[in-house]
Chain A
């Protein structure tokens, strides 16, 4: 078996439920070592895609390769080394946390000794002998995270992983994702929290109405709607004079709020603006750059597609 750079690859994936086209001609590539964010509005087809990758839902057409192996031909063995956490997972009400973990360790064919350590990793070791049926939604989610980590997976597939977690445990999960990725695990996760995706991911895909709008690095996707970085400058006084100087230098996208001036500029022009203000003898109290957000790009792509009704080509 030749070594492949792709850990997940789909080609022309299609799925229709009754009359609704859930996934339409979807081709994705997730490289080994990626933290890959899978974005899209509700009903975009994210969960259906994840289920097809895991062979839980049969595609109507197209192919899926895991580690270069077509899952239609190899089934069960392609899921070795995968950790999966579904959205809103529930487990067995009458089994304890440790029994649940040991059950999944047996299914994965790995040593059960690691289960206690993994429960401790997500802060659930104190409840190891309590029935899962008595747990809150967040606690069940943490058990779900722990079970996904069983066997040190090479690929973690997480469907809305921070759903139901409070900010503290959400932070813990993000740290786990970064730690696992640092050890070589590829992370593929769907989320509706765009700030979370921007914080963690190196690559993203945006899905809408079952088809792929764009798949690229976070930086490219964020800048893909011609979003420029925003240079925010706080001047000591004379903001009107500062605005005029900026506009005279050829920068028109300027806003002013009190002593704070915001200018949309290309990264290469930021120093030029500071130089213009210096030459105009404007005293600068502080300045910072705000990079274009993934949220802005996401809204732009989704909104643009709603208007155009078609697929947008990535940069």
Chain B
């Protein structure tokens, strides 16, 4: 049959996804949430350092990226897990595919439409709050802040892509959300497992504790540790966010990153993962009985 993709139909499906979520107030609710998060962390984020006032972009991102790394995946999973399976369950997917529409059109439309929801919420929430923060604390680092928004989009897009993939694989909504949450939690514990492996392989725990207590330099970690960190999604995203601002302190501890841990490599990694979820969704859905 060949690769049957019709851009008009992809656009129609993407528009429908966006409209459905826009009218559902998802876009506005999430944008509001992001806006509050940025404003709150910009204003209160410096409290631990003794100042309660609006901070610049770099300090704002440093304060909020760990929290953003937690809730962005949850939001993306909520957005995507029902995207295919819900429509299969309620029969609307059958009506769509009863039209001269290919399954590729549907999956591409879902990725584009739901991706646009994420992009709109990030641009609205982080963008408006970014302008407010910049107007008060100065626009220095504005370009990096924009790049941070784009990195945030790619990071969230991976979780959205994975949840759409699960939605094509699963035959029940509960299975789809369970799959998304497994990746979420595995991304949370991967860092802990890596740290355990580092200790088990003779890592200098005492030196690390000294660095943590005194705020000094961390002992250097081996390359395999840093490579493994790319699977610790909730750690690697805040690291990438801070590397955008050339910050090497993470939770008050100074790290010596190897050459391959850069903002570009982290964005590239999440881009590759997103593409894999996209291709997986295309291939799975193409042969799925509805």
A interface residues (Cβ-Cβ under 8 A, vs B): 51, 54-58, 73-77, 79-80, 82, 84-95, 99, 103-104, 106-109, 131, 144, 147, 157
Contact = CB atoms under 8 A, between A and B. Distances in A.
Nearest to A89: B91
A209 B170 CA distance: 27
B92 to A, nearest CB: 5
B16 A95 contact: yes
Interface in B1-50: 1, 4, 6, 8-9, 11-13, 16, 19-21, 23-24
Interface stretch (B93-101, B116-124, B131-139, B146-154): B93-101
B95 A76 contact: no
Nearest to B4: A76
A79 B99 contact: yes
Nearest to A78: B100
A109 B101 CA distance: 10
B101 A107 contact: yes
Contact of B12 (A90, A103, A147, A157): A103
Contacts of B12: 103, 106-107
Classify the interface of chain A: helix, strand, loop or mixed. Answer: mixed
A143 to B, nearest CB: 10
B90 interface: yes
Contact of A92 (B16, B97, B98, B290): B16
Contacts of A88: 91
B4 A86 contact: no
A120 to B, nearest CB: 21
Contacts of A147: 95
Given A58-B287, A75-B1, A94-B20, A144 B8 contact: no
A118 to B, nearest CB: 15
Which of B4, B95, B101 has the most CB atoms of chain A within a 10 A radius of its CB?
B95
A79 B98 contact: yes
Given A90-B91, A92-B16, A106-B12, A131 B23 contact: yes
Nearest to A77: B100
Contact of B23 (A54, A94, A108): A94
Nearest to A48: B289
Contacts of B24: 93-94
A68 B198 CA distance: 66
Nearest to A53: B98
A87 B91 contact: yes
B99 A104 contact: yes
B1 A73 contact: yes
A111 B75 CA distance: 37
A93 B87 CA distance: 11
Contacts of B19: 94-95, 99
B98 A90 contact: no
